[in-house]
Amino acid sequence: MTLLRRWRLSHLSLYRRLMIWLFCPLAMLVAIMLLQAWFASREAADRAFDRLLDAASLSIAEQVRWQQSRLWMDLPPSALEMLATDAQERVFYALYDAQGHFVTGNRSLPSLPPAKAGQMSYGDVISRDMPLRLGVLRSRLEGWDRSDRFEVRVAQSREGRQALANQLFLASFVNIVIIAALAMVVVLLSARFALEPLTRLRRAIRQRDPRTLAPLELALPRELAELRQALNELLARMRRVRANQERFIGDASHQLRTPLAGLSAHAELAMRQSEPAAWREALVTMHGTATKTARLAGQLLSMTRLNNPEATPAKRSVDLAALAQRCVRESFARHHRHGIDLGVDVPDHAVMVSATDWQLEEALNNLIENAALYGARQITVQVTDAPTRLVVTDDGPGIPESQRLLVLRPFHRGQEAGDGTGLGLAIVDSIARAHDIRLLLQTANPDHPERPGLCVVLIFTAT
Amino acid sequence: MRRPDLHRHLSVPRCVRRLGVVWLALALALTAQAQARTLHFAADTEPSRALTIYGVLDPPQVRPLLSDFHRRHPDIAIDYHNLETLALHARVLQERDTSRADVILSPAMPWQYQLANEGLSSPIDSPAAADWPSWARWRQELFGFTFEPIVMVYRRDLARRMIPPESHADLLSLLRQHSRQLDHRVVTYDPRRSGAGYTYAIEDARISARYWDLVEALGNSNSALETTTAAMLEGLSDGRYWIGYNLIGSYVQDYVAEHPELVMVVPQDYALVLQRLVMMSRHAPHPDTARRFIDYLLSASAQRLLATQTTLGAVHPSVDGAGTAADLRDRLGEAIRPVQIGPGLLATLDRLKRQTLLEQWQQAFDNRPTHAGGPLADPSPLPDAATE
């Protein structure tokens, strides 16, 4: 198991991977070439030596004639000597008549099936435990009166062929080995050269200052240039994220500082008075400011929580209708006190979506709160099925179309008037993004120029 | 081929030269002609190893070799069986799968070659075998270890009547010029009845087309035909014949030494040379000792022994002096024609080839067309490898 894991390809270095993928086919190729060379040299040796069988049997066949009422042959010694090369092969010959009867010879030799072309057929036979190359020549007498068929069979042992085949094979072997060695050197070198830019890239990344997010400037081959581009894009995103964070932190501290300064000023003013009534008035004001600041702090906290990419809370199946009813029920009393008409319109059955329930609640509360803060008198929360939507409609001043993208950014208020923190819609937007929810800002009542109202639609994608 | 029965009568060794020679067995064979003789050298030490040799080499020629080998290797018990050439061939074929012989040596070159070609020999991997002159061996399996020219012999008193022949051409012109004088006075092998005679005829015919003129001339002067060198030498010695053609030199040399009235001539134009071929049997029961013996035969010391103590002639390139291949080559140069150890020898054994050649020979000898007397009968039974 550990061995397997060690040899898993994904663990291997690029260099080794290249080596394996280059050397395995190379080794296979060399093996195939060697095998082919072996067969080719055997065949070449056989072809060369078969000429001898050919010549010898022709020379014997020439001497075959009809004499004394039978096939007759004056065996030329040179024909047999022809068959023995430097390897001093063993030599056998035999003459057979048309009926396959042995006429003369020094060993009975088997016949061979006729060859497709030519008179001569060759074959490897084992005769009395001796591997022999046999050649059979089919011929006929060329006399005036007789034209009997006959067969001259000659055979020789394989030493000469073997020696020649070995010699030929050795030559090919040396060639192939030299070529393979050269190929290996080339492969090694080219793999090193090909991987060299990778090493440069690694060095360049390693030598960077860890705090810098500047793009990588490095001449690289196309494949790695893509990687460099991807890296640079990532770096650019990181730069944007960092800039956003810095601005957010700056805005947040600015937002917190203003109410805190107000609190401090009110307290100071109140301390100069001696009237308890004035104190009370100051306290009421301070309480309002503190409440607002607390809400701001809470929203900052939830914004930070939402923007933390490390924490992606598990999604569960949530009943949207029940969730809307619960939120409205919880905040109904508070808004009723301020004379705001908060209503809810849900279907009878449950509308299930996959989401994180506290985030949806947060978004809904923010939307209701937002509408209330910007002077709506009537707020309706509506849940529809197919398509699954959560709609919050109010009759407030609305947001002009040019402002609609901007209001989604943190600390951007639609109107300078009002008690909003400037984070409400930004939080909703973050939650919508995390849930793949389409967020639409529409005008609720376009016919009413003074109070066109705002309709925020959250469209849940089908899960 | 028939072994010339030069030593048909048994000669009891005059002295036992080596202590190692303990036992010499002489066994009479069943037929009168085939006298199988056996030499035995017991091992002097224990444990002993055995070596069985089938050979066509008479005891007087082989004994010096065997006793020298025995002196060098006293732990090897040697059994030497002296056989007729055809009997040897038949026996080797008969025992092809259960060989009893370790070493087979014979001067019947075609027959020996046929056995080796059949794969009944086994290679000897030794430096001596590898260094052996390539013209005197086939593979590492068959080695020609002697060098015996085929010679002419004439009576010393021939010189008073005519110039004695020094070459084949001389012999032909003598026969043509003095055909009446030489009538019934020339003797040679009968190729129809003697394997050796047939082998020389086929080699002679291969070397020169004029051989047929010579046969014709021999026929014209009614030459006598014998089957053994010994019979020819006896006839020459008796004065029945004046000139002998194609006699085996190694036997002649011995005989001439004891019969001063005879002169041996190695033909000047070309001299066939016969070699005794030795091989190790494929299924040799004692391959170790067989290898050692053949190594010994090919060694310089054994070859020197062959040159000095026998008439067989040494082949080893480093051995020179009288009775060696080097010496003969120096004297005759290109005229030396050792019978080639190669597949050409197989043609010699072809049944139809034999009949063809013998017919032609008969025709030339009789000066009459062939087929006159009907097809020739197969002259004498030859072992046929294809029908065994």
In angstroms, the separation between the Cα of residue B139 and the nearest Cα of chain A is: 6
CA distance A340 to A332: 9
In angstroms, the separation between the Cα of residue B231 and the nearest Cα of chain A is: 31
* Cross-strand pairs, B53: B80, B103
In sequence order, which ranges of chain B are alpha helices (DSSP H)?
Answer: 59-72, 85-94, 109-117, 127-131, 168-177, 195-207, 211-220, 229-238, 249-258, 287-297, 300-309, 325-332, 344-348, 351-366
Chain A residue with Cα closest to B371: A68
Task: Tell me, letter by letter, the H, E, C secondary structure of A6-24.
Answer: HHCHHHCCHHHHHHHHHHH
Residues A265 and A284 grouped into a single domain: yes
Q: Measured between beta carbons, which residues in chain B are less than 8 angstroms from residue A103? A: 352
Residues A51 and A147 grouped into a single domain: yes
CA distance A297 to A259: 11
Note down the domain range covering A401. 314-460
Average pLDDT, chain B: 83
- The helix, strand and coil proportions of chain B, stated in percent and rounded to the nearest 5, come to 40, 20, 40
A194-to-A46, A188, A216, A223, A224 alpha-carbon distances in Å: 47, 10, 20, 11, 11
**Residue B4: DSSP 8-state:** P
Do A71 and A148 contact (CB within 8 A), yes or no?
A: yes
Taking an 8 Å Cβ-Cβ cutoff, which residues of chain B contact chain A?
A: 114, 117-119, 138-139, 206, 340, 342-353, 356-357, 371, 375, 385-387
Pairs from A164-168 (Cβ < 8 Å, separation ≥ 24): A164/A41, A164/A44, A164/A45, A164/A48, A164/A49, A165/A41, A165/A42, A165/A44, A165/A45, A165/A46, A166/A41, A167/A41, A168/A40, A168/A41, A168/A44, A168/A45
Residue A101 forms contact with B (CB below 8 Å): no
Which CATH number do you get for residue A436?
3.30.565.10
How is chain B split into domains, by residue range? 23-146+278-315, 148-273
Residues A381 and A249 grouped into a single domain: no
Do B23-146+278-315 and B148-273 fold alike per CATH? yes
- Closest CB from A76, A88, A102 relative to B386: A102
Please write the tens of the pLDDT for every residue from B30-69.
333 334 478 899 888 888 899 999 998 888 889 999 999 9
- The helix, strand and coil proportions of chain A, stated in percent and rounded to the nearest 5, come to 55, 20, 30
Q: Measured between beta carbons, which residues in chain A are less than 8 angstroms from residue B343? A: 77, 80-81, 83-84, 91
- Are residues A91 and B343, on separate chains, in Cβ contact within 8 Å? yes
Pairs from B61-66 (Cβ < 8 Å, separation ≥ 24): B61/B250, B61/B310, B61/B311, B61/B312, B63/B13, B63/B21, B63/B39, B64/B305, B64/B309, B64/B310, B65/B297, B65/B302, B65/B305, B65/B306, B65/B310, B66/B39, B66/B41
In a domain, A419, yes or no: yes
The dihedral over CA atoms of A165, A166, A171, A173, expressed in degrees to the nearest 10, equals: 110
Please write the tens of the pLDDT for every residue from B308-343.
888 888 999 888 887 788 888 888 888 888 998 999
Mean pLDDT by 10 residues, chain A (463 residues): 56 79 91 95 94 93 88 90 88 92 91 82 91 92 84 93 94 94 90 86 85 84 86 90 84 83 88 86 87 83 72 79 89 87 88 85 86 85 88 86 79 59 80 86 82 88 67
Q: Measured between beta carbons, which residues in chain B are less than 8 angstroms from residue A128? A: 119
Residues A319 and A302 grouped into a single domain: no
pLDDT on residue A251: 79
pLDDT on residue A54: 92
Mutation to test the B interface, candidates A67, A70, A130, A132, most B Cβ within 10 Å: A67
CATH number for the segment(s) B23-146+278-315 = 3.40.190.10
Residues A20 and A95 grouped into a single domain: yes
Residues A250 and A334 grouped into a single domain: no
Do B259 and B251 contact (CB within 8 A), yes or no?
A: no
Widest pairwise Cα distance in chain B? 68
Q: How many domains does chain A have?
A: 3
3-state SS, residue A411: coil
Q: Is the Cα dihedral B338, B341, B343, B347 positive or negative?
A: positive
B69-to-A374, B131, B195, B301, B317 alpha-carbon distances in Å: 134, 20, 31, 10, 20
**Residue entry with tokens 């060399």:** A30
Residues A324 and A301 grouped into a single domain: no
Backbone phi and psi for residue A55, each to the nearest 5 degrees, phi listed first = -65, -45
Residues A394 and A443 grouped into a single domain: yes
Per-window interface: A 57-96 vs B, CB < 8 A: 68, 72-81, 83-84, 88, 90-94
Chain A residue with Cα closest to B360: A74
CA distance B218 to B240: 16
Which CATH number do you get for residue A264?
1.10.287
Residue A55 forms contact with B (CB below 8 Å): no
The dihedral over CA atoms of B222, B228, B229, B232, expressed in degrees to the nearest 10, equals: -40
A136, A167, A198 - which closes a domain: A167
Per-window interface: A 107-126 vs B, CB < 8 A: 107-108
CA distance B344 to B110: 9
Please write the tens of the pLDDT for every residue from B92-134.
999 988 889 999 999 999 999 999 999 999 999 999 999 999 9
CA distance B103 to B56: 11
In a domain, A208, yes or no: no
In angstroms, the separation between the Cα of residue B360 and the nearest Cα of chain A is: 11
CB-based burial label for B377 (10 Å; 0-12, 13-18, 19+): exposed
Q: Which two tokens stand for residue B175?
A: 């026969």
Q: What is the number of residues in chain B? A: 388
pLDDT on residue A308: 67
> Minimal CA–CA distance to A57: which of A151, A195, A132?
A151
**Residue entry with tokens 């793999």:** A191
Residues A323 and A340 grouped into a single domain: yes
In a domain, A201, yes or no: no
pLDDT on residue B384: 44
Chain A residue with Cα closest to B121: A90
CB-based burial label for A117 (10 Å; 0-12, 13-18, 19+): exposed
CA distance B262 to B196: 22
pLDDT on residue A202: 85
Residues A84 and A109 grouped into a single domain: yes
Q: Measured between beta carbons, which residues in chain B are less than 8 angstroms from residue A84? A: 342-343
- Closest CB from A68, A88, A104 relative to B375: A68
> Strands (DSSP E) along A16-69, which ranges?
64-67
Q: Measured between beta carbons, which residues in chain A are less than 8 angstroms from residue B206? A: 77
Do A418 and A375 contact (CB within 8 A), yes or no?
A: yes
DSSP B168-237: HHHHHHHHHHTTTTTTTTEEEE-TTT-HHHHHHHHHHHHH-TTHHHHHHHHHHTT-EEES-HHHHHHHHH
Chain A residue with Cα closest to B354: A74
Amino acid identity at B175: L
Secondary element (H or E) of residue A159: helix A159-206
A371-to-A218, A414, B214 alpha-carbon distances in Å: 53, 11, 145
Q: What's the ipTM?
A: 0.80
Q: Homologous superfamily of B148-273 in CATH?
A: Periplasmic binding protein-like II (3.40.190.10)
- The gap from C-alpha A349 to its chain's centroid, in whole angstroms, comes to 44
Per-window interface: A 316-345 vs B, CB < 8 A: none
Q: Which two tokens stand for residue B114?
A: 């046929």
Please write the tens of the pLDDT for every residue from B7-22.
333 333 333 333 333 3
> Minimal CA–CA distance to A318: which of A353, A362, A279?
A353
In angstroms, the separation between the Cα of residue B328 and the nearest Cα of chain A is: 26
In a domain, A98, yes or no: yes
In a domain, A227, yes or no: yes
Do A37 and A176 contact (CB within 8 A), yes or no?
A: yes
In angstroms, the separation between the Cα of residue B343 and the nearest Cα of chain A is: 5
The neighbour count for residue B16, using CB atoms within 10 Å, is: 11
CA distance B147 to B378: 31
Task: Name the pLDDT band for B24 (thresholds 50, 70, 90).
Answer: very low
CA distance A46 to A122: 10
- Going by DSSP bridges, is the β-strand pair B243-248/B277-281 parallel, antiparallel, or unpaired? unpaired
In angstroms, the separation between the Cα of residue B350 and the nearest Cα of chain A is: 7
**Residue entry with tokens 């018990």:** B77
Please write the tens of the pLDDT for every residue from B226-270.
988 999 999 999 999 999 999 999 889 889 999 999 999 999 999
Mutation to test the A interface, candidates B352, B358, B371, most A Cβ within 10 Å: B352
Question: Radius of gyration (Cα) for chain A, nearest Å?
Answer: 50
CA distance B125 to B120: 16
- Closest CB from A75, A88, A128 relative to B353: A75
Residues A293 and A339 grouped into a single domain: no
3-state SS, residue A249: helix
Q: Which two tokens stand for residue B208?
A: 């020169």
Q: What is the number of residues in chain A? A: 463
CA atoms within 13 A on the CB side of B76: 23
Q: Measured between beta carbons, which residues in chain A are less than 8 angstroms from residue B375? A: 68
A190-to-A184, A193, A327 alpha-carbon distances in Å: 10, 5, 68
In angstroms, the separation between the Cα of residue B285 and the nearest Cα of chain A is: 20
The dihedral over CA atoms of B314, B316, B317, B323, expressed in degrees to the nearest 10, equals: -10
CA distance B39 to B22: 10
Do B109 and B274 contact (CB within 8 A), yes or no?
A: yes
CA distance B97 to B88: 15
pLDDT on residue B367: 81
Residue A131 forms contact with B (CB below 8 Å): no
Residues A20 and A156 grouped into a single domain: yes
Do A106 and A92 contact (CB within 8 A), yes or no?
A: yes
Please write the tens of the pLDDT for every residue from A107-146.
899 999 888 777 789 999 998 889 999 999 998 888 777 8
Annotate A288-301 with b (16+ C-beta within 10 A) or e (fewer).
ebeebbebbeebbe
Mutation to test the B interface, candidates A59, A69, A71, A75, most B Cβ within 10 Å: A75
pLDDT on residue A270: 86
Q: Measured between beta carbons, which residues in chain B are less than 8 angstroms from residue A79? A: 347
pLDDT on residue B13: 37
pLDDT on residue A266: 86
Secondary element (H or E) of residue A429: helix A424-434
Task: Name the pLDDT band for B370 (thresholds 50, 70, 90).
Answer: very low
The helix/strand count (H/E) of chain A reads as 9, 14
* Contacting residues for B42 by C-beta, under 8 A, at least 6 apart: B20, B22, B23, B48, B77
A141, A167, A193 - which closes a domain: A167
3-state SS, residue A385: coil
A290, A306, A322 - which closes a domain: A306
A268-to-A262, A273, A280, A435, B270 alpha-carbon distances in Å: 10, 9, 13, 47, 151
- Are residues A74 and B356, on separate chains, in Cβ contact within 8 Å? yes
**Residue entry with tokens 């004001």:** A285
